[in-house]
Structure 1
Amino acid sequence: MADTSSNATISMTNPTLPLFKGENYEFWSIKMRTMLKSHGLWDLTENGVPTTDLAPIDTAKRDAKALFFIQQAVHESVFAKIAAATTANEAWTTLKTAFQGSSKVIAIKLQGLRREFETLSMKQGESIQSFLTLVTAIVNQIRSCGEDLSEQIVVMKVLRSLTTKFDHVVAAIEESKDLTTYMFDELMGSLQAHEVRLNRSEEKDDSKAFYTKGESSRGHQQGRGRGRGGGRGRGDHGGRGRSKTSDNQHSPTKQLKKNVECYYCHKFGHVQADCYKKQREEGQDIECYYCHKLGHVQADCYKKKREEGQASFVEEKNNQPRLFIAKIDEESEVSHIWFLDSGCSNHMTGFKHLFEELDETYKKTVKLGDNKDIHVEGKGIVAVQTNNHNTRMLHNVYYIPQLSQNLLSIGQMMDNGYTISFKGDNCRFSDAETDQTMAIVKKTMNNMFPLEIEKVKEKALAAKEVSPSELWHLRYGHLNMNGLRLLNQKKMVIGLPDIGDIGLCEGCVYGKQSKLPFPKDQAMRATKVLELVHTNLCGPMEVESMGGSKYFMLLIDDYSRMTWVFFLTYKNEAFGQFKRFKAMAKTQTGAQLKALRSDRGGEFQSKEFKQYCESEGILQQLTTPYTPEQNGVAERKNRTVVELARSTLKSKGMPNQFWP
């Protein structure tokens, strides 16, 4: 006992202090206020040292202790603000003013929080948990600013803000509860339990049917209402009651129920109304929903565990392909809709006209969700068209005439180099190598994922013959046809054939669209190499290159039109690249660079750039602001380079990060 008392004294003397790093001041101040009150130091901290103090020495020690606690509870970055404070009240007031604001700032902040609280309402599709979490956060912020927001105001606000699917439970609460004493925590528990029941009742018969051994033999114990294991329908026993059909342990409702806490025993997985401990302690008779014996619940039923040991979710010894989707709405029976299926061994369709190639000698048997066998009458290839008009081949697709829907096997898609990811209500198909999104499928109300893809017309499957002229046009980065003809006439390229008309190039149309050229007068041109060099910097690009480049800088000799391209990660690298170019050009040509024409970008007007040009005797010709026409050579070359890269990427369908 002595040791315990000693440890408690040490713990109270040296408490664990919440560390304040400049964020979430409201929560930190609440923790500190509680700690200071527990040591009897809050009055000194809040009001300061009284002027008429009967025990000044003792008060000074207590004030120093409170100041010590505050100093130890702040990070070094915050400590500088209170380093000069000599009393706890001075330090506390300084922090409050700095991080919470003056009374005027707090009033403005409260006004915004009140408005947010008043306009808050639950969105369609939003879970009750996320909505109540948002309400709690706003209420805590309002209270931390000093406003007393009662439980009754919060409760009535929540009841007003719920969606229409909670109307009946709101009416029940308003009729059965006294809202003047009803607590917010009680309301949270009631709403969460109601949402669990609501989600369970919304499960439809047309959702996916999973195959389990012996399932069909348990289908006659029905009754109307929620079954003892979740079954629905009117059966041999009639009336309202619970059937023996066991719940699917993998259903979304079960997963949701795992997150629900019982307010009686504080365990997860059930609500207070179904609490086994509460029923046992209150003397209620407990009946097992499985064997109908008293004294235990279904989760502890020995008979259920023994019988389930003889059955499995999927028979391991049976290697027949499974078809997990057993029934789909009749409205969905359209040949261009494919349903995603994680349990399907292969792609399957019942529409023969979709096949480009079909081997009808291939025979196989597929097992349905109701344990029935249907026959595969062929296997072949289906050509489909994606949203970006690319043709994709679905190989090893089973032809099953009895099937009225198309099923897309997720496993087979992954084996073929696709990545499938689920987030929220969306399923994303992407290429595993390039991460390019191929399709995004949205979940429907009955928890299905229908993908609409069109059959490719026959003419689209024929390979396009590329003429020699078009091939050389592509090889030279979509160079204009007159340029190619000039190369042929001058015999400048070995093997270049006579260039004919290739018609419309789709890559050029996408990559070279522009407005009409700006009218220009005849300008003076250089008569020697390096007499005048044009430069310009382009970027930042929307997509960073594979090497991390965001910009490129062009340097064009006015006389020869020789062009150099340098790729940059940052604009301040332009000066270093220019020095490299100047040294290289002098070594290669023996000529001196005399003039450099550029716009007034900061990279060309820096102090070091100007000093370097002056020391090397280079004349800087700067264009008039907002007049790119004065440096037209660089601007047009800029466009040529960008269009070359863009046209090449578009024509080949390559990702934009390959632009350098």
Structure 2
Amino acid sequence: MDDQSSGSVRIEKLTASNFYIWKQKIQLLLALRDVDQYVFDDIPENATSDDRRKWIRGDAKAKAVIGLTLSDDYLQHVRGCSSAKETWEAILNVFERHTLLNKLAARRDFYTVSMLPSEKVLVFINRVKQLAARLQSMSVEIDDKEIAMAVLNGLPPRFDNLIVALDALGNEDKVFGLEFVKSRLLQEEQRESMKTASASSPHAPALVNRMPIRRDMKCTNCNRHGHTAGRCWGKDPSAFVSRDDNSTAAFAESDFTCLLSTSTPEKRAANARSWLVDSGCSAHITFDRSLFVTYEQMQSGSVEMGTKARANVAGRGEVEFMLNVNGSPHPCKLSNVLHVPDFGYSLLSVSQMVSKGLQVSFENEKCRVTAGPTVVATASQVGDLYILDVMNETFSAHVVTLQTLHERMAHVNVQGIASMIHNNVVNGINSDNHSPICPACVFGKATRSVIPKQRSSSRAQNCLDLVHSDVCGPLEVQSIGGSRYFITFVDDHSNWVVVYTMRNKSEAFAKYKLYEKLAQTHTGRKVKVLRTDRGGEYLSTEFKSHLDLNGTQHQLTTAYTPEQNGVAERLNRTLIDLVRSMLSHKQVSKRFWAEALATSVYVRNRVTSRALPVNTTPHHIWMNSTPNVGHTGRSAGQREIEGRLMR
């Protein structure tokens, strides 16, 4: 097992499939090491130097514990994080992005989960609980009853009797409790295991299911015990087999039956590629593994022949072929088709078709399968057998539905495929023209609506009525002063920008208080509304208390929707572009980014913008004066010195 030790505790490394289990275990491990507070809290603002050193040491331990439980692929996501809290938030941002598509995918996985063929009950229930935990982490309410319902809905048909028994109890509050459902499923699984073990003992024939002996039953037809007249095979003693010398005889019932008689090798070869309509077969059966489009291996199962011999079932799945219905091709898909390698035929079960609501009739050397008034399949009598009418092998191999072609050709545009077929752009395929809406494409190709460039609300009427803020970083290189972040404040009315550099994101609250004092001193007004994203640096208790105390409303954007804080987001991009251009032009080290940033903000506050009225700069509105930018040009003395150097 690929795991990581931390002392005596070992947990599996984080991978793409075990996030919620890993999250639960790493939280327990952090609590065990007494470093869990570093993941959720920031260093106290009034901490002493000793407390600060202890905090830095504990934060490093928490970050190390998390990092050592990450696989190499996910270490790349936290490489630039400077604290345990940033590391934790970076991981959550990868796995718990609460976008609409992620929520839809999580709901789809939860409500369509099904138990795998060889999966144990407890493993399946834990898998459902993990899917529920994923939804709950996205603020979707999933209670205990809903989880129990998802478990019952995902059970295979072998548990149908148990579900009926649960329904018969009539106490819904008790039945739909997860713990009660789990205990009953575990009991049923244990009962099946004991039954399988008994059947596989040396005294029982392999792969044969027997009816339990009911000694209180007596057949009125043959006067034997253990069955009723409805299950009696008449007076033929060979229809019964004895369990032992002293037991009452009982009917030997296999998983499936096929009463088709044996044929000569010549007739079998002639009919090998045909589907025979058989009223004595309890399931669709084929010997040809290549016909299956989906396939599931079976560990046990048998088919009883008309000769009492039994053949093993290797697996089951879905088979597709093209029917010939009155000369027109119609695609057909058979479900739960058994793969029996020892057979020499492919058999279509009449009882299975009838159970699906179809009607089967035989007359005038023809078999017709109908769904109401519509004929869905026909079979022609050949000798003593009814052979299903299918398209010839060449046509069947190349005529498929347009939807099937769409799925086979990597879900490319359906109209494009139809156009290629119609215009003979490609060879080797024929198709019908019908193509339903593809759910996989609806999910896989969905995109967000275009972000509007226009404002969704009017501009603030006065300075500080609305202030936008955002934190940018961590940047690739530390500044000369050791900063890796910067925080911006933009007044919505004047578009005036103030920026502060920071070593850590936790300094955001202190920088806001500096801005607040500066802005109030210059304008004589208070900040009415502060609009930010949901970054943790804006959500601390002390930040919230300060805003409440000063009567400032805090507007938060919807999670993972940066366009709602578009003013601050666009400003960050503009400033970064200006900084990058200046450093590149003069070939200056990236360590001077903070100085270039200060220059960019100074200049931007003194130039016009499309966001403001014509011939107006932020300086006009904020300072109520015309900006003087003469000092940004070269003086006469500079030009004279440059002239002498040129000479």
TM-score class normalised by the smaller sequence = 0.3 to 0.5
Q: TM-score, normalised by structure 1?
A: 0.32
Q: TM-score, normalised by structure 2?
A: 0.33
